[in-house]
Amino acid sequence: MSAPLRIALAGLGTVGAGVIRLLETNGELIAQRAGREIQVTAVCARDRSKDRGIDLSPYAWEDDMTALAARDDVDVVVELVGGSDGPALALARNALNGGKHLVTANKAMIAHHGMELASVAEAGNAALKFEAAVAGGIPVIKGLGEGAAANAIDRLYGILNGTCNYILSQMESTGADFGDVLKDAQELGYAEADPTFDIEGVDAAHKLAILASIAFGTKLDFGAVDISGITKIRAADIAQADALGYVIRLLGTADVDTGSGEKRLLQRVQPYLVSKEHPLAAVDGPTNAVVLECNFAGRLLFEGAGAGDGPTASAVVADIVDIARGNFGAPFSLPAGALQPAAPADPGNRLSRFYMRFVVADRLGVLAEITAAMRDAGVSIESMIQHGHPEEGGDVLVAIVSHEGPESGVSAALDLLDGSPSLSEAPLVMRLLG
């Protein structure tokens, strides 16, 4: 058996401690599969005295995590600190520039700096691995780069944030509104004290940008992702979706538009109405799922735990095993220099059915104003439902489902209604995924 592969671990939170427990529990099995022993030689975290339920005495301790990259007894640096910049990025740069391999679960850093880090890794013949950065323990990056390597990917989409999926699932089962379910999710540990990145869709957008780059061979472009979260969704929207035969899910979607002869990429994170007959409708709780539509393999579904110490640690160690075997490869499947730039695609010609919810004042002529805007923009209305009773006073919810039509028509209708005193707040628009 080859000499041990020596790793340094930055960050001893839930995932970092999980990595050490996994290596201790399955060390012999992992060594057999990797062809060499995996040894932790050094660690770093904020608080040396904190009880993490693991014995850290066998490992050297560094107070400055960037020092891990300079140690002679380290082959692989594992970064589990998080944050798109700051110490995590400094550690990543130091490790790769020093010829050391890097494994990370940091989707924000990869989404913002992945191209730079991939170029440095390739230049130094070092590995850059980030399976744990997307969808926890689901091997979707390996699935894209290896299992589906022979296929052109027509489209990818999926549930990429477990917090949002838990909240929406609970709203379905309890009938409670968003704010109440969010509070419960925080108390149960499914949502952070500051859940902004999750509920506003940013976390899912980080993951989507990474997947899209691998799937379509394009330069990573997080700034081009169109992002909408779930904060505007009400219990009434959940109930209406159910009546229509749908559930609401926050989805990340990406596909390439080549109609103009130029490769253009459409990336967006938005809530969708998903048909109850679609596989994603059955994905509830803090679970992730990714669908790949391939030109030869057809539809592939990857589903599993999107977070947690066990699943995420499993993905981290799987990357370490790849390095132990000498399986490096280009981080984004193609060499960084071969990834193509792709301008954002214009979604206006995309056909879909739409759910549009308006909060309107109790006054005469409001429904006529909305329907006139739809008519003038060429949007065909399939159904319209009013929630609430005008005679009770206050705002009324009006929900419209359109026939299939171009997205540009819905945008035009909303432009016509923009600034109308009849609307109490901006409309909520969701596409229907059948």
- Give residue 389's pLDDT: 54
pLDDT mean over 66-85: 95
Average pLDDT, the chain: 94
Separation of alpha carbons 360 and 376, rounded Å: 20
What is the per-residue pLDDT across 42-58, written as a single tens digit (0 to 9) for each? 999 998 889 899 999 99
Catalytic residue among 50, 207, 219, 276: 207
183 catalytic? Reply is: no
Closest CA to 158 of 249, 284, 265: 249
∠ CA 45-133-203, nearest 5°, is: 100
- Give residue 434's pLDDT: 75
What is the per-residue pLDDT across 255-306, written as a single tens digit (0 to 9) for each? 998 766 788 999 999 999 999 999 999 999 999 999 999 999 999 999 998 8
Helices (runs of H) and strands (runs of E) counted in the chain: 12, 19
- Give residue 361's pLDDT: 85
- Give residue 259's pLDDT: 66
Q: Which residues of 404-429 are buried (b: 16+ CB within 10 A; e: fewer)?
A: ebbbbbbebbbebbeeeebbeeebbb
What is the per-residue pLDDT across 313-366, written as a single tens digit (0 to 9) for each? 999 999 999 999 999 889 999 999 999 999 999 999 999 999 999 999 877 889
Separation of alpha carbons 305 and 285, rounded Å: 10
The domains of the chain are located at 2-133, 140-305, 348-433
Alpha carbon of residue 139 to chain centroid: 14
- Give residue 253's pLDDT: 98
Q: What is the CATH topology of the domain spanning 348-433?
A: Alpha-Beta Plaits (3.30.70)
What is the per-residue pLDDT across 77-118, written as a single tens digit (0 to 9) for each? 999 999 999 999 999 999 999 999 999 999 999 999 999 999
Closest CA to 302 of 154, 136, 163: 136
What is the per-residue pLDDT across 211-261, written as a single tens digit (0 to 9) for each? 999 999 999 999 999 999 999 999 999 999 999 999 999 999 999 987 667
In this prediction, residue 188 has a pLDDT band, given cuts at 50, 70 and 90, of confident
Alpha carbon of residue 252 to chain centroid: 7
Q: What is the CATH topology of the domain spanning 2-133?
A: Rossmann fold (3.40.50)
Separation of alpha carbons 73 and 425, rounded Å: 59
What is the per-residue pLDDT across 128-183, written as a single tens digit (0 to 9) for each? 999 999 998 899 999 999 999 999 999 999 999 999 999 999 999 999 999 999 99
DSSP-based three-state secondary structure for 401: strand
Do the beta carbons of residue 265 and residue 218 sit within 8 Å?
yes
Please compute, for residue 177, the number of CA atoms within 13 A of its CA located in the half-sphere on the CB side: 5
pLDDT mean over 172-196: 92
> Looking at domain 140-305, which CATH architecture does it have?
2-Layer Sandwich (3.30)
How many CB atoms sit inside 10 A of residue 13's CB? 15
Q: What tokens were used for 275?
A: 């048909």
Taking the alpha carbons at both ends of the chain, their separation in whole angstroms is 52
Separation of alpha carbons 90 and 69, rounded Å: 10
- Give residue 2's pLDDT: 84
- Give residue 410's pLDDT: 97
Is pLDDT of 209 > 60?
A: yes
In this prediction, residue 204 has a pLDDT band, given cuts at 50, 70 and 90, of very high
Q: Who has greater pLDDT, 260 or 35?
A: 35
- Give residue 394's pLDDT: 67
Do the beta carbons of residue 14 and residue 136 sit within 8 Å?
no
Where is 343: in which H helix or E strand? strand 343-344
Is pLDDT of 393 > 70?
A: no
Q: What are phi and psi of 64, to 5 degrees?
A: -105, 110
In this prediction the pTM is 0.94
What is the per-residue pLDDT across 4-26, written as a single tens digit (0 to 9) for each? 999 999 999 999 999 999 999 99
- Give residue 70's pLDDT: 95
Do the beta carbons of residue 201 and residue 270 sit within 8 Å?
yes
